Amino acid sequence: LQVEHPVTEMITGIDLVKEQISIASGNKISFKQDDIRMNGHAFESRIYAEDFENNFLPSTGELLEYVIPSGPGVRVDNGFGRGSKVSMYYDPLISKLIVWDKDRKSAISRMLRALSEYSIAGVTSNISFLKKIFNHKKFIAGTFDINFIENEFIPSLEKENGKQTDYKLQTIVSIFIAALKEQSSAGNHIRNKLNRDNNKWTELLYE
């Protein structure tokens, strides 16, 4: 099953996951190739807890606020909620936003509206970056290629920073700092628990 299967599902009306499970259960595929009709246009955006302006480094922490978009032609495959924690130990994907409309231009407009309806606090998300993509003239015209992000966005970031960034070193340092924070948090939790337990023993001794 391809990662972007929701896009296929939106333009064909076929639930590929349901079909896959049915086939795995021993049933025959419920349609023929000639039965498939494509309708409209769909996009998928992956909502990540990452900082576009800092070489897409993951952003860990608790989702203090998390509101997702809704409405006709909008689908959110979601794995988080308010209060959920984005850990350094897993992929920082928060949700997948899929939109459908009658044509590419309309689908882009719907995607931009849906992205604007997200409200995320507690971690940095890539939503502002996704908006830049869907507003970019080359993306709108469909004239981009595999080097689109590298050519259209990275140079402007380096110019804003005043110099080229050593991204590999920056990534290693950020991961190391995040690991130290996780260990510090775990250590504080253990120390607090020990202090509480010691207080209980003290109370018992003097009763």
In a domain, 81, yes or no: yes
For the chain, what percent of residues have pLDDT higher than 70? 76
Radius of gyration of the chain (CA): 23
- Residue 176 and residue 150 share a domain: no
Confidence of residue 150 (pLDDT cuts 50, 70, 90): confident
The pLDDT assigned to 168 comes to 56
Same domain, 127 and 60: yes
Block residue for tokens 């800092």: 54
pLDDT band at residue 116 under the 50/70/90 scheme: very high
- In this structure, of 7-11, 74-78, 132-136, 182-186, the range with the lowest mean pLDDT score is 182-186
Query: Structural domain of residue 110, as residue ranges?
Result: 40-161
Distance from C-alpha of 100 to C-alpha of 37, rounded to nearest angstrom: 15
| pLDDT band, residue 167 (cuts 50/70/90) | low
Residue bearing the bigger pLDDT, 27 or 171: 27
**Residue-level pLDDT at 35:** 93
Rounded to 5, what percent of the chain is helix, strand, coil? Answer: 50, 15, 35
Distances (CA, A) of 204 to 192, 200, 207: 19, 6, 5
Q: Is pLDDT of 118 > 90?
A: yes
36-71 pLDDT per residue, tens: 999 999 999 999 999 988 888 899 999 999 999 999
- Residue 112: phi and psi, rounded to 5, are -65, -40
CATH at 70? 3.30.470.20
Residues 147 and 170 in one domain: no
What's the rounded mean pLDDT across residues 177-182?
A: 70
Which pLDDT belongs to residue 172?
65
Mean pLDDT value across residues 150-168: 66
- 144 and 182: one domain? no
Q: The whole model's pTM is what?
A: 0.75
Q: Is residue 31 part of a domain?
A: no
| Per-residue confidence (pLDDT) for residue 169, from 0 to 100 | 60
Q: Say what the pLDDT of residue 132 is.
A: 95
- Do residues 143 and 73 share a domain? yes
Q: How many residues does the chain have?
A: 207
Same domain? For 105 and 173 the reply is: no
Counting the structural domains of the chain, the total is 2
Q: What is the DSSP letter of 66?
A: E
Which of 190 and 3 is assigned the larger pLDDT? 3
